[in-house]
Amino acid sequence: MSIRSIDLMVLYSKASDVEKLQQSSQQAPQIAQQQLAAEELQKNEIKRAQVAGANKTEGSKVGRKKDDEGGKRPTYGHNLKQQRDEDAQAEENKKKKGEHVAKPSIDIRI
């Protein structure tokens, strides 16, 4: 079986196109890998710059606030005493107004 001259000319002109497509399909995974590596390097550089910048700006000493600024917390006993005083004051106000004051009680039934 012989190849006609026209077929040979068409085949020859398509050979260069096929070669380019084959090279690009073989190089595509390698190019994608290189792009991912470049993106990761760029992200790492950004993180390093942020950390370096944070170290420069946040290098000051942390101090406690004074009591009047709300720095020291009151103790548990202080909170309990304050709550009892507030409850007693609220009960007295209700008694003065003539409202019914319900005292909390625990009902245990077995």
Per the listing, tokens 């398509």 go with 14
**pLDDT of 83-108, one tens digit each?**
888 888 888 888 788 766 566 777 78
**pLDDT of 34-87, one tens digit each?**
999 999 999 999 999 888 777 666 555 666 665 555 555 555 556 777 888 888
Please state, in angstroms and rounded to a whole number, the distance separating the CA atoms of residues 108 and 64: 47
Query: In which region does residue 37 sit, left (phi positive, over 0), alpha (psi from -120 to 50) or beta (all else)?
Result: alpha
Contact 71, 65 (CB under 8 A): yes
pTM of the full structure: 0.36
If 0-12 CB within 10 Å is exposed, 13-18 middle and 19+ buried, where does residue 91 land? middle
Please state, in angstroms and rounded to a whole number, the distance separating the CA atoms of residues 88 and 82: 10
- Segments making up each domain of the chain, as ranges: 1-51
Please state, in angstroms and rounded to a whole number, the distance separating the CA atoms of residues 110 and 107: 10
Per the listing, tokens 């709550």 go with 83
